[in-house]
Amino acid sequence: MHDVDFLPSRKHWMAGLASALVGVMGCGVEPTPAPETPVTTPTDLGQSQQDLMGNIVYGTDCSTGMQSFLGDVMRYGRVAAASTAFEQCVDQRLTERYKKCNGDPFYSDTLDTQKAQVLWVARSANAVKMNCTGGGGNASTGIGSYGHTDNEEFWWGGWLTSVYNSLGWPVCNGTNGPNCRFAAAPWPYSQAAGISWHEVMHTHGYTHGANDQANAKVACGYGTLSDSQWHFQYNTMPYIIGDCLGEVIDRSGQRCGNVDSCGANALRIVDGFDSTTCSCQYDPRPTALGMVDIRGEGHVDAKMVEGERIPVGWLYANDNQTGWVGDFNGDNRDDFVIRSPWGLGLVAHDGSGMSMLAGYSYGTWLGSWQLGSADRIEAVVDLNGDGRDELVLRNANGLGVLYLNTSGSVTTMHVVNYGTRLTGGWLLGSGDELKVKGDFDGDGREDLLLRSAWGMAILRRNNSTGQLETVNMSAYGTSLGGWVLASTDAVWGVGDFDGNGRAELVLRSTSGLGLLTRDSTGALYPMHQFPFGTWLGNWNFGSDNTAPAFADFNGDGRTDMVLRSPWGWGIISRSSTGSLYDLAMLQHGSWAGYWHISNDNTVLGARDLTGNGRAELVLSSPWGIGALQYYSGYGLWSELTVPYNGLVSSWIISPNGVQAMGDFDGDGASELLMKKY
């Protein structure tokens, strides 16, 4: 950890890395005023707004072979559209060539905004219907159903029949080898993909005026220019986008060797438009679960694709549930729990991708616990301090603590039935709520905080006896060093606010807030206690405040608390002298770098995503997701901003996509565990 006295780099994505947020471009090292108007997603473009190129629907006139051919075309196009090479081509050619046609979307906007918007369009096109006959019968006419709000529907006609029979799918999948699909036109894959994306631009309102130069110049407003000054096949958006897409595929075929050598759902694509090096890039479309690293230009560390099995057999489907993270095998890399209608599994990053640590169907006995579909996951916690997390489950009969043993099997550490009185006095009941976990006594083992209709207790594991025991138990009405415990108290969370290695408990009552810690005898007392209306630095703590996150945002080794009010957001920190103060404050309507602070922001979590010892606050909004980092002297600044349907590397950002966060590869920086729908 170290102090930071420089302005953060302005990393932000707009449907892809290195693209600017809509209407906000640029980079530098000096602070600049925040944008004056909110950034909005161009929701007027198209009507379906499905993920990148959506699922293909085929006309009844398409043979099975033609469907396979067109499916390949669209897959190669999707991979190319998600690439850095495509982005570089678009940036270059819009700068050098683009001259707006009358009626183009965002006609009056800046070139930077045009670049951001057109990338968004190219990477979030509507559902596609492919008809295999009819239309004009060649590669350049009669293909698209034009109109600003139409879904993409193509009539390929005679062109498709010709290329399919002579150059298409049967040939490219035969003895000639797969690389023929990437060869330059008239070989079909690059040409067909370029045509498809050309037509996508039309269906979103971009035009080239007409299909002949004379009429096109007039329609687009360049009637007085010569052909060398403006040409519809050179200066208009549909041709620029289609040509860039096709050329990325062509260059990959020429420079990357076997482009199909990356396995399922990935292709070998040039790293940059002028690059001679290549790397495997995923198809961004299939529904999947991925570990997404936001650093640098971003990358997907590992993924599980719907309908595919990862090593040791788990078949992933998008109805699988996850969100529970811990290090179950003690390798200093986070793992995660996954559940399906079939059973439960533990998934790890094995250094090259995702693999199963263990998986069990419902009904299996794991030691003395029978796994059931109705089991509820209560916590992931290291109760015995061995560096390997346990999984706390509950069912209709009681509480179970399961762990992964050194032989790779999951078995029971504890099973406690309801009605059992634990050592120290707590009577476990079916109505008990497991609220939080934390190391309240600083012994290196995490404890559990339970509440019931009677009161509250802290439970820990006694490693000597191997039993769960009660170490603190208080009935409602008990005075805990001045804090009167009440059934109406809300447990907000835990954190080590003074950095002494012991967690404090944050309680909110009907009159104020308390941070309770344990004294030398083990008794709870308030380290801080204050009523509503108290000023914490410049933050006025009110009854309308909530605390959605706790993490170390400034890297001082002490937990900070995120507060939210109708006014805005604040991060409250504890100084080395013991006073609470505002580390950062942002009013609704303001900007944190390129993220718009608003009442519609939702906290998804807080983890160190960059590996610098400071946690980022991860937020969502109706627009997209963002990650804010604290910088000394500047406050909160956006480390990541990406809209829904936008891309981090080749990963589409979906609403409700963030499932969890963890350092799955053990490199010191957490990844986002994300679903793609």
Determine phi and psi for 599, rounding to 5 degrees: -65, -15
How far is it, in rounded angstroms, from Cα 74 to Cα 333? 37
The radius of gyration computed from the CA coordinates of the chain, to the nearest angstrom, equals 29
Identify the segments of the chain with pLDDT beneath 70: 1-55, 124-128, 134-155, 157-188, 264, 296-298, 645, 650
How far is it, in rounded angstroms, from Cα 541 to Cα 549? 16
Q: Which two tokens stand for residue 434?
A: 């497991």
Dihedral angle over CA of 214, 215, 220, 224, nearest 10: 40
Determine phi and psi for 658, rounding to 5 degrees: -75, 120
- pLDDT digit string (tens) for 146-170? 333 345 566 676 666 666 655 444 4
Give whole-number Cα distances, 489 to 302, 437, 505, 546, in Å. Answer: 42, 17, 12, 13
How far is it, in rounded angstroms, from Cα 351 to Cα 301? 9
How far is it, in rounded angstroms, from Cα 67 to Cα 58? 7
Query: Does the residue 98 lie in any domain?
Result: yes
Structural domain count of the chain: 1
Query: Does the residue 566 lie in any domain?
Result: no
Q: Can you give the pLDDT at residue 444?
A: 95
Query: Does the residue 173 lie in any domain?
Result: yes
Q: Can you give the pLDDT at residue 204?
A: 77
Query: Does the residue 371 lie in any domain?
Result: no
Query: Does the residue 672 lie in any domain?
Result: no
Look up residue 585 and give its amino acid: M
Query: Does the residue 88 lie in any domain?
Result: yes
Eight-state DSSP code of residue 380: E
Query: Does the residue 453 lie in any domain?
Result: no
Q: Can you give the pLDDT at residue 130?
A: 77
Query: Does the residue 325 lie in any domain?
Result: no
How far is it, in rounded angstroms, from Cα 4 to Cα 630? 10
Which pTM does this prediction carry? 0.77
CB-based contact 32:24 (threshold 8 Å): no
Q: Which two tokens stand for residue 107?
A: 């006609």
208: domain range? 56-276
How far is it, in rounded angstroms, from Cα 239 to Cα 252? 20
- pLDDT digit string (tens) for 411-454? 999 999 999 999 999 999 999 999 999 999 999 999 999 999 99
Q: Can you give the pLDDT at residue 643?
A: 81
Q: Can you give the pLDDT at residue 158?
A: 63
Q: Can you give the pLDDT at residue 299?
A: 75
